[in-house]
Amino acid sequence: MNQTAEPQRRGGLPATEMANAFVAFLFAASAPVAIILGAGMRGGLSEADLASWIFAAFAVNGLLTIFMSVRYRQPLAFFWTIPGTVLVGQALQTLSLAEVIGAYLLTGLLLLLLGVTGWVRAAMDRIPMPIVMGMVAGVFVQFGLDWILAFAEEFVLVAAMSITFFALSATPRLQKRLPPMIGVLLVGLAVLLVQGTGTGGDEAAGWADGGRVLASPGLYAPQFTLAAALELVVPLAITVIAAQNAQGIVILRAAGHKPPVNAITNACGGASLVTAVLGSVSTCLTGPSNAILVSSGKIERHWIAAVLLGTLGIMFGAVAPLVTGLLLATPMAFVATLAALALLRTLQGAFQTAFGEGFPLGALVAFLVTLAGMPVLNIGAPFWGLVFGVLASLALEREAFIRKR
């Protein structure tokens, strides 16, 4: 992955890291939060249940992000599994919340077992990188498409932010004083202030108007049933390991980091046991947020951005009812443009790795299956992208596996 050279004074404010952390936070606190709200409401959860879920998803995982990033001096950002959230929303149609909590706890124990035994790292080392990056490209290309489509919704806003990004990126001298993503943020906020307009869901606005500012997390007793275990435990573990952690690990490796695979799996398992009793879905190493954290700046300072992101996550979790409504009230085009521009280089690197030498057909199949976004057996498309990509290469690219060994 190409890294943008942005000199910074030793001991000065980490401007680039602050910008990347804020954009990563803004991404996590917008559309993914809307997914939680939608899944929970369809499942009949109360506002108190949703507030506890969001608190745990941000505050607990924010603490984990800070600890792991400082411990390993790498950007290790943890949030929650988005495909798992969709899966839980469907499961709540037939299962009680207590049964879902029980499945969360069993999933956490399974993740710990896989991390301690080292099976996860062995599997990750054997999956061809081009196929995994084909899957990553299939996930991230949607962000790029959302950016292009955003021109039709908020042309002035998106055009101003995009022009700022390319102008600053093409001018190394300006980058020394104003990193591109900081410029994009400032210009975007300025346009929003001038326009004086914003869009947001009525549900999110109601949260902010409800008089509740600080989150009040609850403690939930589990109920262990065979039905919930069969429906949720293995699919949730797969979404964490194959659909989410795999993205984050590959992205960090492409940026030059060496993420500790087994430790990450153990961290996800341990944190999932905590978030479970607070009503939140399983913890995972996030792909998009980590991609934003490593999108620019010096590699040895990326972990600082992760620490800042974790801090923002804790703060957001503490005031989830208020801030959720405010963030979701901003135009979706604003968040879509921020995320896409921050991920542009990452998407470019994913395509270059996927369709280089080695496994181009397997990478293409992984890309197409992931892009289609069709879950099978309640398991998200990224996992099946990996499965069918590997099968395609085993059938038609056997020589590449021999060379890899």
| Assigned domain for 401 exists | no
Of the spans 94-98, 173-177, 276-280, 285-289, which averages the highest pLDDT? Answer: 276-280
Mean per-residue pLDDT for 3-26?
A: 69
Cα–Cα dist 349/251, whole Å:
9
Q: Per-residue pLDDT averaged across 109-126, rounded?
A: 83
Question: What pLDDT score was predicted for residue 203?
Answer: 46
Residues 347/214, Cβ–Cβ less than 8 Å: no
Q: Mean of the pLDDT values across residues 93-121?
A: 91
DSSP 3-state of 371? helix
Q: In this predicted structure, which of 191-195, 213-217, 327-331, 355-359 has the lowest mean pLDDT? A: 327-331
In a domain, 361, yes or no: no
Please identify which residue in the block is written with the tokens 């500012």. 213
Mean pLDDT over each residue of the chain, to the nearest integer? 84
Asked if residue 1 has pLDDT above 80, the reply is: no
Q: Is the pLDDT of residue 302 over 80?
A: yes
Whether pLDDT at 58 is above 90? yes
Q: Residue 4: its pLDDT value, please?
A: 44
Per-residue b or e along 40-79, where b marks 16 or more CB atoms closer than 10 Å to that residue's CB: bbebebebebbbbbbbbbbbbbbbbbbbbbeebebbbbbb
The reported pTM is 0.72
Tokens 């949030």 locate to: 79
Q: Is residue 173 part of a domain?
A: no
Q: Strand locations in 174-321, DSSP E?
A: 283-285
What mean pLDDT comes out for the span 287-294?
A: 90
pLDDT classification of 199: cutoffs 50, 70, 90: very low
pLDDT of 209? 46
Identify whether 158 is part of a domain: yes
At 296 the pLDDT is 82
- Position 63 scores a pLDDT of 97
Facing residues of 283 across strands?
A: 80
Tell me if residue 284 falls in helix, strand or coil: strand
Residue range(s) defining the domain that contains residue 218: 15-162+196-347
Q: What is the DSSP letter of 79?
A: E
> Do the domain assignments include residue 178?
no
Which of the four pLDDT bands, split at 50, 70 and 90, describes residue 38?
Answer: confident
CB of 279 closer than 8 Å to CB of 49: yes
- Please indicate whether residue 272 or residue 237 has the higher confidence score (pLDDT): 272
Instruction: Give the pLDDT mean for 340-346.
Output: 79
Scored b (16 or more CB within 10 A) or e, 325-361 reads bbbbebbbbbbbbbbbbbbbbbbebbbebbbeebbbb
DSSP state of 43: T
CA nearest to 250, candidates 373, 391, 372, 134? 134
Q: For a pLDDT cut of 70, what percent of the chain falls above it?
A: 89
Identify the helix (H) or strand (E) that includes residue 150: helix 129-153
Helix (H, G, I), strand (E, B) or coil at 80: strand
Residue bearing the bigger pLDDT, 125 or 41: 41
| Inside any domain, residue 397 | no
Greatest mean pLDDT range, 51-60, 186-195, 341-350: 51-60
> Does residue 353 lie in a domain region?
no
Report the distance separating Cα 304 and Cα 301, nearest Å: 5
Q: How confident is residue 313, by pLDDT bands cut at 50, 70 and 90? A: very high
268 within a domain of the structure (yes/no): yes
Q: What number is the average pLDDT over the span 201-215?
A: 54
pLDDT for 327 = 58
Task: Answer with the residue of higher pLDDT: 175 or 368.
Answer: 368
Domain count, the chain: 1
What confidence score (pLDDT) does residue 361 get? 92
pLDDT digits (tens, 9 = 90+) for 247-282: 899 899 988 999 999 999 999 999 999 999 999 999
* Position 376 confidence tier, pLDDT thresholds 50, 70, 90: confident
